[in-house]
Amino acid sequence: MVGAFEQALLALMIAFIMLGMGASLTLKDFVLALKRPYGLFIGLMSQYGFMPLIAFALAAMLPVSNEIKIGLLIMGCMPGGTTSNIFTYFSKGNLALSVLMTVNSTVFGVLLIPLLLVIYAAGLNITIPAANIVVTLFLLLVPVAIGMALRRWNANIGALVELGGGALGLFFIAFIAVSWVPRNWQFLLGTPPSVFLGAIGLGVIGFLFGYLFSVLLRLHPRNARTIALETGIQNGPLAIAIVALTFSGTQQQAIMAVPALYSLFIVITASTVTLWWRSRVNASEQKLPDSLL
């Protein structure tokens, strides 16, 4: 489980990660997003069309407890994480598109995350306190607004905060590895393989759906890689924060297993995909198309 000290530390880390995300944004970004409805549609379809459906399918098909089903749904309904921007850069994808998709999914998530959780939870006959999640999401948007204000006030400070937020996102995963995993080692040893399959499969299937969706739309290869990574890489720290602040006791521990395992293994799977793509990039793919998509 997550203790009181860890919950406080978790809240501070999440706040700073969201602060860094806000520092990467300007009002111009939102204007540009609205001027590109095609890109907006692709981003929202990837994050809130495919991923929640994949999570629902895994929860319905795998022999897991209701707590694991809740964990899968919460993880599948999360917006894109800033980690996806880093992997997009190293895979030689379209970084501008990656940031735009992350922004769109985060902003629209305040409305879509609770709505989708209620819909899919009803389909599985489980209960998720959507009201608590709404409050948590609103609170998490406050540091985003502060980050945007810092960026507007001083571009240099905004850049430092943005860099720090992205780095802290990776540190957060390391924090889980050295803190939560060892203390819950016996719990994880008793965790059925189906839970690992769900947590790992969510990201892997997300990569596949995102890439096939892009190929179907005949997008540029660099954009296809970007959308695949943005689809499969969800905001694990945000999911863990929601679980920690919404549930308690043994239920919290069981639900936490999914976002914790997902956050650990998504780095491995995303790194593998990134290295494979880098090895296959040819000269004709180096230049991005004139438009974002």
Q: What secondary structure does DSSP assign to 29-77, as a single string? A: HHHHHHT-HHHHHHHHHIIIIIHHHHHHHHHHHS---HHHHHHHHHHHT
| Residue tagged 């990134």 (tokens) | 274
Closest CA to 292 of 104, 92, 107, 95: 95
Which domains are present in the chain? 4-279 (1.20.1530.20)
Closest CA to 108 of 77, 152, 85, 64: 77
How far apart CA 158 and CA 161 sit, in angstroms, is: 5
How far apart CA 170 and CA 174 sit, in angstroms, is: 7
Q: What is the pLDDT of residue 92?
A: 79
Spell out, as residue ranges, where the chain has pLDDT lower than 70. Answer: 1-37, 39-40, 132, 136-140, 150, 154-181, 183-184, 281-293
pTM of the model: 0.81
Q: 19-63 pLDDT, tens per residue?
A: 666 666 666 666 665 666 676 688 788 889 999 999 999 999 999
Instruction: Report the amino acid identity of residue 183.
Output: R
CA dihedral defined by 195, 175, 80, 266, rounded to 10 degrees? -50
